[in-house]
Amino acid sequence: MKVLIAVKRVIDFNVKIRVKSDNSGIETANVKMSMNPFDEIAVEEAIRLKEAGTADELVAVSIGTAQSSETIRTALAMGADRGILVETDAELQPLAVAKLLKAIVDKENPGMVVVGKQAIDDDANQTGQMLAALLGWPQGTFASKLEPADGTATLVREVDDGLQTIQVKLPAVISTDLRLNEPRYASLPNIMKAKKKPIDTTTPDELGVDVTPRLETINVVEPPVREAGEIVADAAQLIDKLKNEAKVI
């Protein structure tokens, strides 16, 4: 079974986010970038499927600027077999990404698509669901456990009130949650080997997909500074402040 993994280049999770001076967006110049953490989990899970003999080829796909090839190289160093870069400088929104991934799926015919449940830059949590809808495939979202077998996949999903176990028919779109696995570090020999693995490059025009943004960002501002807390003497004073100052009771 061929497994397709979507990986996104985002600002590293350790970096403090800064808003541009004109409030038009987030500052990305001279900022450390890395693979979206949820996508790292997706890559790791695909590698484990291959190690278990369930998958025989892993294809990492990234959509974005030419620098996104670095993210693909990271996936290749972890264990993916080859990469596909859809190169574009356009602002990409979830529907456009889903349409591009559908075009790739139509060409590659994978038995499973594994994506991170969300990207840490926009927190949209939409691409996997949109892709499944466009393909007409079953979807298993927020997976914390994945067990494919005999043309199906059994998933444990994290939901608001606990854990839910479902079974979907393959091919399917799977989105990964934090507790699915612990991604491995790429070893130096594998990093060197990854430089020789192939990355095919295409564009939205070649795939026949219009990526024109449907939403416009009007203004981006930092969250308000959190006020300091206050220590109260007893429960009576707490209730008084909640009632008369905070006015929440």
Q: Give 141-188 pLDDT, tens digit per residue.
A: 999 999 999 899 999 998 888 899 999 999 999 999 999 999 999 899
**Which CATH fold would you assign to the domain 2-244?**
Rossmann fold (3.40.50)
Q: Give 73-123 pLDDT, tens digit per residue.
A: 999 999 999 999 999 999 899 999 999 999 999 999 999 999 999 999 989
Residue 111 CA neighbour count, 13 Å, CB half: 18
- What are the Cα distances from residue 192, in Å, to 170, 186, 188? 34, 10, 6
Structural domain spans, the chain: 2-244
pTM: 0.86
